[in-house]
Chains A and B, each alone.
Chain A
Amino acid sequence: RKEVEQDPGPFNVPEGATVAFNCTYSNSASQSFFWYRQDCRKEPKLLMSVYSSGNEDGRFTAQLNRASQYISLLIRDSKLSDSATYLCVVNEFGNEKLTFGTGTRLTIIP
């Protein structure tokens, strides 16, 4: 079983729609959680950290469910510029190494 699992997609979503991705992690010692965004042939960049109470950044909302060991990302009012691959990332307590999921590919359709 992979440490971090994501649905690879692709998700093809019309502009303006709401889309949600889930990600599950297997290591219960995981302490920090992130969503990274990776554009085609570019490097990953941090989109947002995921906090226990859930957090929102504009059109993006991240949630953490420790009991079920999953995190989610919700994108509202999707824009063409949201087209990218979204990587779920977890970090074990006291360990600087990050574990990356394989990513979920999102395409926003005009």
Chain B
Amino acid sequence: NAGVTQTPKFQVLKTGQSMTLQCAQDMNHNSMYWYRQDPGMGLRLIYYSASEGTTDKGEVPNGYNVSRLNKREFSLRLESAAPSQTSVYFCASTPPAGGPYEQYFGPGTRLTVT
């Protein structure tokens, strides 16, 4: 199993450009998550999806949209990138309900917006 995979690993955007971060998991997990990690801020939840076809906002959803394409894939889209979105983005997934909700993370995407 590859676990959780993310593409791209690195990306530089200019202000106003758009892009989609891809995430896929092959562990048959139901729930998937998108986080951003900034120095001194810890991991902050952007959006999550409890199952295929459902998505919910997390702590910092503004400026982002998501798509749960199927059980395996959960993408994050920046429609008009801003310098404040410079961050490391992690995707994660969780095994089916029953707790204790251990999350498995992808390797991250390092995004710089200039």
Q: List residues of chain A with CB under 8 Å of any chain B CB.
A: 4, 8, 31-32, 34, 42-46, 49, 87, 91, 96-98, 100-103
Say yes or no: A32-B101 contact (C-beta < 8 A), given A42-B107, A43-B107, A43-B108: yes
Task: Flag if B101 contacts A98 (CB, 8 Å).
Answer: yes
- How extensive is the interface on chain B, given as a class? 20 to 34
Chain B residue contacts of A31, Cβ below 8 A: 99
Task: Flag if A100 contacts B102 (CB, 8 Å).
Answer: no
Q: Give the Cβ gap from B71 to chain A, nearest Cβ, in Å.
A: 15
How far does the alpha carbon of A97 sit from the alpha carbon of B61 in the complex, in Å? 15
Say yes or no: A102-B40 contact (C-beta < 8 A), given A91-B101, A96-B48, A97-B58: yes
Chain B residue contacts of A49, Cβ below 8 A: 100, 102
- The 7 A-B residue pairs whose C-beta atoms are closest, nearest first, are A43-B105, A102-B42, A32-B100, A100-B43, A100-B42, A46-B102, A91-B101
Q: Give the Cβ gap from B46 to chain A, nearest Cβ, in Å.
A: 12
Task: Flag if B42 contacts A101 (CB, 8 Å).
Answer: yes
Q: List residues of chain B with CB under 8 Å of any chain A CB.
A: 31, 33, 40-43, 45, 48, 50, 58, 90, 94, 97, 99-108
Q: Give the Cβ gap from B32 to chain A, nearest Cβ, in Å.
A: 10
A102 touches which of B33, B41, B101 (Cβ 8 Å):
B41
How far does the alpha carbon of A22 sit from the alpha carbon of B62 in the complex, in Å? 33
Task: Flag if B42 contacts A44 (CB, 8 Å).
Answer: no
Task: Flag if B101 contacts A96 (CB, 8 Å).
Answer: yes
A-B contact pairs, 20 of them (CB 8 A): A4-B42, A8-B40, A32-B101, A34-B102, A43-B90, A43-B106, A44-B105, A46-B102, A49-B100, A49-B102, A91-B99, A91-B101, A96-B31, A96-B50, A97-B45, A98-B101, A98-B103, A102-B40, A102-B41, A103-B42
